[in-house]
């Protein structure tokens, strides 16, 4: 296993800039979601907003990914590709935005209920947000990735929802994916001690029904096998000596 990358103060400053840029783009993308909007048009617009930040998409071309952002709807969990699909009233739209600015990456995700969701959809989003918050609360030097995963898993399972296991959080910095892996459940085999200067993306992926997923024929889009709803929220977080700092935070009231 490769060692986690410890960032210097200068690198942390650059990652903070990238994270804030990602949040600004996310705010615009969330506000743009209306019934009838094509997902490829949303993807194109995200690319333009990223450019306005003097940045580029961290996802476009990464391992061959064809979009500016990941746009996943309803049963699509992650890695959805913008296309001809039109967003409908009540759809759960998952936006995963990665911004590369000055060589460093801000990575975040959010779920939006277009025009408002059902009580079940709202509960799903609320639980996923709470799971993210509880996971972040465990981030401090001396704790482990297992502590993060345990906190996320506890919140989700207490609500009766499922936690996707095939995909997880991860280190982030110059690359979209760095060590360590950050599972959303307890995996003792992968547990890594958190150290000050590490930057990790925590991202619960939660399902209403079974947590089992599969990848569609496009080779990217991950869907729930039972086709029930899913939600996804993510922040890039810095480990500090006494706690943590959410790098994908622009200083304004939080979106979630």
Residue with tokens 């989700």: 156
Is the Cα torsion angle 91, 161, 133, 234 positive or negative in sign? negative
Is the pLDDT at 199 greater than 60? The verdict is yes
pLDDT given at position 167: 97
**φ/ψ of residue 117, rounded to 5:** -115, 175
What is the Cα 62 distance to its own chain's centre? 16
Domain locations in the chain as residue ranges:
9-246
Confidence of residue 250 (pLDDT cuts 50, 70, 90): confident
Q: Which CATH number fits domain 9-246: 2.60.40.10, 3.40.640.10, 3.90.230.10, 3.50.90.10?
A: 3.90.230.10
Averaged confidence pLDDT in the chain: 96
Structure tokens belonging to residue 153: 């898993």
The strand order across the sheet containing 244-246 reads: 178-182, 169-171, 199-202, 235-239, 244-246
In angstroms, the Cα distances linking 88 to 33, 94, 211, 255 are 10, 13, 24, 22
pLDDT at 4: 86
Using a cut of 0.85, tell me whether the model's pTM lies above it: yes
């Amino acid at each position: 296993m490769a060692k986690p990358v410890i960032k210097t103060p200068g690198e942390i400053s650059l990652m903070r800039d990238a994270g804030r840029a990602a949040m600004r783009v996310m705010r615009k993308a969330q506000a743009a979601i209306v019934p009838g909007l094509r997902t490829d048009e949303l993807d194109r617009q995200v690319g333009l907003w990223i450019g306005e930040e003097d940045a580029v998409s961290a996802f476009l071309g990464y391992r061959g990914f064809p979009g500016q952002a990941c746009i996943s709807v309803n049963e699509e969990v992650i890695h959805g590709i913008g296309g001809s699909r039109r967003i409908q009233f009540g759809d759960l739209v998952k936006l995963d935005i990665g911004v590369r600015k000055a060589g460093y990456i801000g990575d975040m995700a959010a779920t939006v209920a277009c025009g408002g969701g059902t009580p079940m959809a709202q509960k799903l989003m609320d639980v996923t947000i709470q799971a993210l918050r509880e996971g972040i609360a465990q981030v401090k030097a001396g704790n482990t990735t297992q502590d993060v995963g345990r906190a996320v898993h506890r919140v989700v399972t207490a609500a009766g929802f499922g936690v996707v296991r095939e995909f997880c959080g991860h280190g982030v910095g110059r690359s979209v994916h760095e060590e360590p892996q950050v599972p959303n459940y307890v995996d003792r085999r992968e547990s890594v001690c958190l150290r000050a200067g590490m930057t990790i993306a925590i991202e619960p992926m939660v399902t209403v029904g079974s947590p089992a997923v599969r990848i569609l024929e496009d080779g990217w889009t991950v869907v729930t096998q039972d086709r029930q709803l899913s939600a996804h929220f993510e922040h890039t977080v810095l480990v500090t000596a006494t706690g943590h700092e959410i790098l994908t935070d622009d200083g304004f009231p939080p979106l979630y």
